[in-house]
Amino acid sequence: MKWDTIPEMVLSSADRFGDAEAVVDGPLRLTFTELVDRIRVAAGSFAQAGVEKGDRAAVWAPNSAEWIIAAFGLLTAGGVLVPVNTRFKAEEAHDVIRRSGAKLVLSQPGFLGQEYLAPQGVPSIDLKSDFLSSGNPFERKVSGGDIADVVFTSGTTGRPKGVMMNHRQTLRLYSEWCDLAQVREGDRYLIVNPFFHIFGYKAGCIASMIRGMTVLPMAVFEPEKVFELVERERVTVLPGPPTLYHSLLEAGKGRDLSSLRVAVTGAADIPVELIRRVSEELPFESIMTGYGLSEAGTATASRPGDSFEEIATTVGTPCDGVEVRIAEDGEVLIRGYSVMQGYLDDPAATAEAVDADGWLHTGDLGSLDEKGHLRIIGRKKDMFIVGGFNAYPAEIEGFLLEHPAVAQAAVIGVPDERLGQVGKAFVVPRGPVTEEKLIAWSRERMAGYKVPRSVVFLEELPLNATGKVMKDLLR
């Protein structure tokens, strides 16, 4: 690895890629040279605003060129980035911002009809104002072991916790990610994954600066806009949650998607059928599935040359320098350089997550095959027990998605007097089907204890901003 810190890598992109396009955001088009100039000036703005080395600042805004300039400008000023989830309501965001100790907040008022104002006592700056362009070019020395960012978990399992990562970890991991995803200089990367999440920020913005890809930030996922951008800008790289590829398959017929080359997806419950259709019906040459979490970044990934079946049914093998093992109760454990430096101001939660031997307890259930491929079975907390048998929602959902009339499916366990718990399915149909027929079809394909006892049809599943189904809302 050529660099020790994220600012060092980002600033060097001007020399490495010069006049190539770095960011295309609506009418705004910036070369790498222009982007780096703006980042240096933004660093001066943060320094003028009183941000010292190690100070934290929050960015609470959708994907945009300004988000990139603010984030890298803050790091160049020696600050620590706290990205805030744009789907949080004011109270949730204020809790995260207060606990992060952020010195100031950059936000975009009016996005999604929300105010996006910082909590009382924390200076709030409009990301789209002239703040970022008001400084003098500036750079502050940081080192690879310094904390670079505090990314709060999505909070699907309780109060969000702030995950601390340093510069060196991030650079090493996402340099490897670029190789595994088979991205290359000159690629055009439409980033629909939110920048507040590691998929959008690290496997998106940082990977693009490492490799010399053009970033096309997308503030809100709208299938029609995706098609337009792919056609007009000749997008080559389009990662996203499984729902993104559902949209391409369902609504993309008749559109010119021929430029698309690289797909990357990740979720505990990617249906085999979806990956099969993406590979057969869309122009992607490379499809990578991976498994990652805020606490360890991308931990495993499929490899070029993996069989179709391996890409579809597993999340690949561990990244270089990362160990994966399965605990006795089936929980996936991870150890290696990419495991977080801890939860911000929460030594108790850190000790609970990372044991004395350095193993991170992920809360996911999985298994390893003889070639070392990891299969994710589901969340430990999602598993339910039917008459003494363990039932895994992700597995049942995979079966349901093989039904031609099922577009999306989510399964939860609900109380049952006789069996303790039974499965309940929530289905977004793509064709006519009844509850009785789907249950009967399931009985022919899976063991009795796995068959959902009831089916609710919905127009859409409740998703969080990273495309994960919010099962607590279904409960």
Confidence at residue 133, expressed as pLDDT on a 0 to 100 scale:
98
Residue 379 contacts by C-beta under 8 Å, 6 or more apart in sequence? Answer: 157, 268, 363, 364, 365
Q: What integer is the mean pLDDT of 311-333?
A: 95
Question: Which pLDDT tens digit goes with each residue over 111-133?
Answer: 988 888 899 999 999 999 999 99
Instruction: Determine which of 264-273, 320-329, 432-441 has the lowest per-residue pLDDT on average.
Output: 264-273
Of residues 8 and 474, more confidently modeled:
8
Which residue bears the tokens 């940082």? 206
Beta bridge partner(s), residue 216:
190
**Does 271 score more than 80 pLDDT?**
no
Residue 119 DSSP symbol: P
Residue 469 DSSP symbol: B
Q: What integer is the mean pLDDT of 413-420?
A: 90
Confidence at residue 344, expressed as pLDDT on a 0 to 100 scale:
98
Query: What is the Cα–Cα distance from 283 to 102, expressed in whole angstroms?
Result: 44
Domains of the chain listed by start with CATH number: 221-381 (3.40.50.12780), 382-474 (3.30.300.30)
Confidence at residue 158, expressed as pLDDT on a 0 to 100 scale:
64
| C-alpha distances in Å from residue 192, one per residue of 301, 302, 305, 321, 458 | 20, 21, 27, 29, 24
Nearest partner of 133 among 207, 52, 28, judged by Cα: 28
Question: Which pLDDT tens digit goes with each residue over 156-208?
Answer: 556 889 999 999 999 999 999 999 999 999 999 999 999 999 999 999 999 99
Residue 253 contacts by C-beta under 8 Å, 6 or more apart in sequence? Answer: none
Query: What is the Cα–Cα distance from 208 to 191, expressed in whole angstroms?
Result: 10
Query: What is the Cα–Cα distance from 268 to 350, expressed in whole angstroms?
Result: 23
Share of the chain above pLDDT 70, in %: 98
Confidence at residue 156, expressed as pLDDT on a 0 to 100 scale:
54
**Does 272 score more than 80 pLDDT?**
no
The alpha carbons of the chain give a radius of gyration, in whole angstroms, of 22
- Reading the block at residue 320, the tokens are 């270089």
At position 124, the amino acid (one-letter code) is S
- Reading the block at residue 429, the tokens are 């149909």
* DSSP per-residue string spanning 351-403: HHHB-TTS-EEEEEEEEE-TT--EEEEEETTT-EEETTEEE-HHHHHHHHTTS
Nearest partner of 316 among 303, 331, 298, 333, judged by Cα: 303
Sort residue 40 into left (φ over 0), alpha (ψ -120 to 50) or beta.
alpha
Confidence at residue 269, expressed as pLDDT on a 0 to 100 scale:
59
Confidence at residue 266, expressed as pLDDT on a 0 to 100 scale:
78
| C-alpha distances in Å from residue 219, one per residue of 65, 108, 190, 200, 246 | 10, 11, 11, 11, 19
**Does 321 score more than 60 pLDDT?**
yes
Confidence at residue 268, expressed as pLDDT on a 0 to 100 scale:
56
Residue 70 contacts by C-beta under 8 Å, 6 or more apart in sequence? Answer: 42, 59, 106, 127, 132
Q: What integer is the mean pLDDT of 57-80?
A: 98
Question: Which pLDDT tens digit goes with each residue over 13-61?
Answer: 999 999 999 999 999 999 999 999 999 999 999 999 999 999 999 999 9
Beta bridge partner(s), residue 24:
29
Query: What is the Cα–Cα distance from 452 to 470, expressed in whole angstroms?
Result: 19
Query: pTM to 2 decimals?
Result: 0.88
Parallel, antiparallel or unpaired: strands 454-457 and 420-429: parallel
Residue pair 134/153 in contact (Cβ under 8 Å)? The answer is no
Question: Which pLDDT tens digit goes with each residue over 89-101?
Answer: 888 899 999 999 9
**Does 418 score more than 90 pLDDT?**
no
**Does 267 score more than 70 pLDDT?**
no
Nearest partner of 450 among 405, 383, 371, judged by Cα: 383
Residue pair 218/225 in contact (Cβ under 8 Å)? The answer is yes
Confidence at residue 298, expressed as pLDDT on a 0 to 100 scale:
96
Residue 463 DSSP symbol: B
Mean of per-residue pLDDT scores for the chain: 94
Residue 1 DSSP symbol: -
Nearest partner of 191 among 24, 312, 37, 28, judged by Cα: 24
Confidence at residue 198, expressed as pLDDT on a 0 to 100 scale:
95
- At residue 367, φ and ψ (nearest 5 deg) are -145, 155
Sort residue 405 into left (φ over 0), alpha (ψ -120 to 50) or beta.
alpha
- Reading the block at residue 55, the tokens are 């100070």
Residue pair 68/215 in contact (Cβ under 8 Å)? The answer is yes
* DSSP 3-state percent helix, strand, coil across the chain (nearest 5): 35, 25, 40
Nearest partner of 100 among 346, 330, 462, judged by Cα: 346
Query: What is the Cα–Cα distance from 369 to 315, expressed in whole angstroms?
Result: 11
Q: How many helices (H) and strands (E) does the chain have?
A: 15, 24
Query: What is the Cα–Cα distance from 111 to 6, expressed in whole angstroms?
Result: 28
Instruction: Determine which of 128-132, 248-252, 283-287 has the lowest per-residue pLDDT on average.
Output: 248-252
Question: Which pLDDT tens digit goes with each residue over 341-375?
Answer: 999 999 999 999 999 999 999 999 999 999 999 99
Confidence at residue 99, expressed as pLDDT on a 0 to 100 scale:
96
Residue pair 145/79 in contact (Cβ under 8 Å)? The answer is no
Confidence at residue 379, expressed as pLDDT on a 0 to 100 scale:
82
Nearest partner of 50 among 116, 102, 107, judged by Cα: 102
Of residues 378 and 20, more confidently modeled:
20
